């Protein structure tokens, strides 16, 4: 196995100089740099990153912790982060903790403490004080995506404001009988996302003087399948149907549209539907939504982290609000009843 020693020999330089030349750091004359590079290329030499890491303390690797890889938001964040890391020459270690609480525990109490990552990005996970402490104890900066994290830097969207904006879009079209598909209680642990969006909905309704009917607030698990089932129930109560549904995520909005079709309801004539996310299927489904640029959030998290790492700065706990955009498509319209 060729090592840096072989490269040094071939280039007629010392190991130290080759190391400096290859890493790009330190002062090396252009001549030596070129010779080192050439020798490395000829030998097909690639640095061993363990050895580098051990000696330098820098791993060139970022840990990304997600609750799932299937839900659209998470894969979009992964995509954004992975591209940004690849460009920077960093590895991405993925921890998909899923539903299993044991997995979460071992990730935070073992995997992440193995000092294999320079930093961690936690997506939609409300870390406990302890989890954050442990990471800080091994000097691993953290960026959270999806909500505030005590003592860590976070990137998030203003969930209440967004829900307000979405609901107002519907109200603005003339809807008053609006239902809401929220997330299950269980998902409220992490940043109270369902609750926050729900309260934005309620505030908008109250402000507009529209009654919020409890039976028109149903919950699902943030998936298309889950919302499909929930929406079927919601729409089954025939005469007393809402004229619009605001779902807490695009996937749930899509589930709602599918359910509506089963009932022969035309979108948007019989039912307006909107979501939050900016899902790829939005175009196909003609879904009105609030685009939160998940990919961009992943990329931003990486940039934030790398900036801190490269400047050797401590990452200041800061709360960055990511911009969102209302995208109006064909799933929302003036209610037929009030139009006619």
Binding flag, residue 88, DNA (CB under 7 A)? no
Does 27 bind DNA (CB under 7 A)? Our answer is: yes
**Omega before 268 cis (within 30°)?**
yes
Instruction: Pick the binder of DNA from 10, 20, 156, 295 (CB under 7 A).
Output: 20
* Binding-site ranges for a second copy (CB under 8 A): 1, 44, 46-51, 53-54, 59, 61, 69-70, 75-76, 78-79, 82-83, 86, 89, 91-96, 98, 100, 103, 106-107, 110-111, 113-116, 134, 137-138, 223-225, 228, 255, 258, 261, 280-281, 283-285
Q: Given phi > 0 = left and psi -120 to 50 = alpha, else beta, which region is 230?
A: alpha
In whole angstroms, how close is the CB of 246 to a second copy at the nearest point? Answer: 20
Q: Tell me how far CA of residue 14 lies from CA of 6, 9, 24, 94, in angstroms.
A: 10, 7, 16, 37
19 binds DNA (CB under 7 A): yes
Handedness of CA 30, 35, 38, 39 (dihedral sign): negative
CB neighbours of residue 109 within 10 Å? 12
Nearer to DNA, 28 or 306 (CB): 28
Where are any strands of DSSP class E within 248-297? 272-277, 288-291
Give the 3-state secondary structure of residue 204.
Answer: helix
Question: With CB cut-offs between 5 and 8 Å by kind, which of DNA, a second copy, none does residue 114 bind?
Answer: a second copy
Give yes or no for residue 140 binding DNA (CB under 7 A): no
Report the length, in residues, of the chain. Answer: 340
Q: Which is nearer to a second copy, 214 or 312 (CB)?
A: 312
Phi, psi of 290, deg, nearest 5: -115, 110
**Contacted by 133, from DNA, a second copy, none: CB < 5 to 8 Å by type:** none
What are the distances in angstroms from CA 164 to CA 148, 161, 172? Answer: 20, 5, 12
Cα–Cα distance, 235 to 250 (Å, whole number): 18
Nearest to 107 by CA among 193, 69, 315, 98: 98
Per CB under 7 A, does 54 bind DNA?
Answer: yes
C-beta closer to a second copy: residue 67 or 200: 67
Stretch that binds DNA, among 45-53, 164-172, 211-219, 241-249 (CB under 7 A): 45-53
Contact pick of 38, 41, 42, 51 for DNA (by CB under 7 A): 51
Q: With CB under 7 A as the rule, give the number of residues binding DNA.
A: 32
> Which partner, a second copy, DNA, none, binds residue 179 by CB below 5 to 8 Å per kind?
none
Site residues, DNA (CB under 7 A)? 1, 3-5, 12-17, 19-20, 22-23, 25-32, 45, 47-48, 51-52, 54-58
């Amino acid at each position: 196995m060729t090592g840096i020693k072989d490269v040094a020999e071939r280039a007629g330089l010392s190991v130290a100089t080759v190391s400096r030349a290859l890493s790009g750091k330190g002062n090396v004359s252009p001549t030596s740099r070129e010779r080192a590079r050439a020798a490395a290329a000829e030998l097909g030499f690639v640095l061993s990153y363990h050895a580098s890491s051990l000696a330098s303390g820098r791993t060139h690797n970022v840990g990304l912790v997600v609750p799932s890889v299937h839900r659209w938001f998470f894969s979009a964040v992964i995509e954004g982060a992975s591209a940004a890391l690849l460009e920077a020459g960093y590895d991405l270690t993925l921890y998909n903790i899923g539903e299993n609480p044991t997995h979460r525990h071992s990730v935070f109490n073992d995997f992440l403490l193995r000092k294999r990552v320079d930093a961690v990005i936690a997506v939609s996970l409300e870390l406990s004080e302890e989890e954050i402490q442990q990471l800080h104890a091994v000097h691993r900066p953290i960026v959270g995506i999806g909500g505030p994290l005590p003592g860590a830097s976070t990137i998030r969207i203003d969930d209440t404001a967004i829900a307000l904006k979405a609901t107002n879009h519907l109200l603005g079209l003339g809807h008053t009988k609006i239902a809401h598909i929220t997330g299950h209680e269980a998902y409220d642990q992490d940043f109270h996302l369902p609750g926050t969006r729900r309260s934005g909905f309620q505030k908008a309704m109250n402000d507009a003087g529209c009654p919020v009917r409890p039976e028109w607030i149903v919950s699902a698990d943030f998936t298309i399948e889950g919302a499909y089932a929930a929406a079927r129930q919601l729409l089954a109560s025939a005469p007393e149907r809402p004229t619009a549904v605001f779902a807490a995520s695009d996937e749930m909005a899509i589930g709602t549209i599918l359910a509506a079709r089963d009932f022969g309801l035309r979108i948007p004539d019989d039912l307006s539907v909107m979501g939050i996310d900016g899902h790829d299927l939005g175009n196909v489904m003609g879904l009105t939504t609030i685009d939160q640029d998940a990919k961009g959030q992943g990329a931003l998290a990486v940039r934030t982290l790398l900036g801190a790492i490269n400047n050797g700065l401590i990452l200041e706990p800061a709360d960055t609000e990511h911009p969102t955009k209302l995208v109006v498509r064909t799933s929302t319209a003036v209610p037929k009843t009030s139009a006619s």
